[in-house]
Amino acid sequence: MDSQDWDDRYAASELVWGAAPNRWVVRELAGRTPGHALDLAAGEGRNAIWLAAQGWEVTGLDFSAVALERAERLTAELPDEVADRLTWRHGDARAYEAPAAGYDLVLVAYLQIPAAERRAALRRAADALSPGGTLLVIGHDLSNLTEGVGGPQDPAVLFTPEDVLADLADRGLRTVRAERVHRTVDGEPGHKGAAGAESGESAEANGGGRVAVDALVRLERSGG
């Protein structure tokens, strides 16, 4: 899907992915010392807004102008101390040039692009990290096609934790976590065979339900 496709999708409904942050973002980042964060492919901004509420200074970047308009509208409804921590930028994750100072956190959640483009985007994300920074990558796992529900049905835009590690093998990052994670999707916003924001509880926690499989990789740059 190109930027026009995503503009059309966001324009067709209100808050495609809901307002709540992704459950894996919360699990991995809650309680961490805030700093400067970059949310690549931020969509309507739910994860960036959550990070700002935790005290992070956040830049949210997306190539859908419609999604960013919605994010700006949501920002206007926030308390000033949270809204002032958010900056929205229209751009492409595959070509983003980070400032020299870098970021303490780079989040790439449910970026759905072919392997070569994903590799380019993830390498730019890794290069945007400041010393001691964290890169968190979350997406629909390739195994979701046969073992889960929802998400893109094109294997070309899916990946595994191993794919992410291979993409970034020469970037000097330490692997903190690289795993497949499961969540129930019943009743989740946007879950109609499309990618994106899933914040429901895991099947283990809820005792059943339709389960989707995600890939989750958390990496850190040394130093800091």
Query: Are the C-beta atoms of residues 111 and 118 closer than 8 Å to each other?
Result: yes
Averaged over 199-219, what is the pLDDT? 66
pLDDT at 19: 66
14-18, 52-56, 207-211, 220-224: range with highest mean pLDDT: 52-56
pLDDT, tens digit, 9 for 90 and up, residues 149-196:
988 999 999 999 999 999 999 999 999 999 999 988 865 544 333 333
Alpha-carbon separation of residue 42 from 72, 92, 155, 162, 188 (angstroms): 12, 11, 22, 23, 18
Which has the minimum average pLDDT: 4-8, 62-66, 116-120? 4-8
3-class secondary structure per residue, 65-113? HHHHHHHHHHHHCCCHHHHCCEEEEECCCCCCCCCCCCEEEEEEECCCC
Residue 125 in 3-state DSSP? Answer: helix
Q: Give percent of the chain with pLDDT exceeding 70.
A: 80
Residue 203: pLDDT above 80?
no
pLDDT, tens digit, 9 for 90 and up, residues 121-137:
999 999 999 999 999 99
Q: What pTM value is reported for the model?
A: 0.85
Q: What is the mean pLDDT of the chain?
A: 85
